């Protein structure tokens, strides 16, 4: 949603504040409420994610499990909840889009981000695989891979050295605002029904 949001969207956002992609019942409840408020869904943007970097030798299994459950299994829960809507929209002759927010960490190596990168590589591969299943039925699957972006991801990091490293990178290269990524998604999904911009890498110019 670009620009000012109508009151009904703000109400839904407040209702969904406590829902989590890590809980299957939460995802199902959100899907039901969205359909009740707006009808069948024809655009799904899966952007929930956590980034918890630390050296692999630290053995932070708590962080590994959280990243896998949110970034990979969470994506699957959302996809399961909304794919029937997308297929129905495509069958009806309309545009139908599944957009996954991955990361350049899916294929660019950053020390201490091994597990995060692995979850994003899984999401990128999942997007490509789903395209082979859903594209033949006119559902477009787009994988967005941002670099540094203004978001809450850095707030999850509990390693002061890595936090300082991130801050330094942002200071050196700048970072697109989340609204700019949203604008890119709006452009991507507004193309003609028979065109799928399947993979978009978006970086600050100084990081590219």
Q: Please give the positions annotated as active site.
A: 116
Where residue 39 falls (left for φ over 0; alpha for ψ -120 to 50; beta otherwise) is left
**Structure letter (DSSP) for residue 73:** I
- Residue 42's SS3 state is coil
Say if CB 143 and CB 45 are below 8 A apart: no
Provide the token pair at 88: 């129905």
What does DSSP say about strands 199-202 and 43-46: parallel, antiparallel, or unpaired? unpaired
Cβ(102)–Cβ(48) below 8 Å: no
Count CA atoms closer than 13 A to 125's CA, side-chain side: 10
Q: How far apart are the first and last CA of the chain?
A: 27
Give the number of C-alpha atoms closer than 13 A to the C-alpha of residue 50, restricted to the C-beta side. 19
Q: Are 140 and 196 in contact (CB under 8 A)?
A: yes
Shortest CA distance to 156 belongs to which of 40, 77, 38, 60?
60
């Amino acid at each position: 949603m670009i620009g000012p949001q109508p009151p009904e969207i703000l109400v839904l956002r407040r209702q969904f504040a406590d829902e989590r992609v890590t809980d299957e019942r939460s995802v199902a409840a959100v899907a039901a409420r969205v359909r009740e408020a707006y009808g069948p869904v024809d655009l799904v943007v899966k952007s929930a994610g956590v980034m918890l970097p630390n050296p692999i030798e630290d053995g932070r299994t708590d962080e590994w499990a959280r990243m896998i459950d949110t970034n990979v299994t969470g994506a699957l829960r959302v996809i399961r909840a909304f794919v029937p809507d997308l297929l129905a929209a495509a069958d009806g002759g309309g545009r139908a889009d599944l957009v996954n927010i991955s990361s350049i960490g899916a294929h660019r190596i950053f020390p201490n981000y091994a597990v995060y990168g692995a979850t994003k590589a899984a999401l990128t591969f999942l997007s490509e695989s789903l395209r082979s299943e859903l594209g033949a039925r006119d559902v477009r699957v787009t994988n967005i891979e941002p670099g540094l972006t203004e978001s809450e991801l850095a707030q999850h990091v509990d390693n002061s050295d890595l936090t300082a490293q991130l801050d330094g990178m942002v200071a050196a290269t700048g970072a697109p605002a989340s609204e700019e990524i949203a604008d890119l998604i709006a452009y991507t999904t507004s193309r003609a029904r028979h065109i799928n911009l399947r993979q978009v890498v978006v970086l600050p110019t100084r990081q590219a």
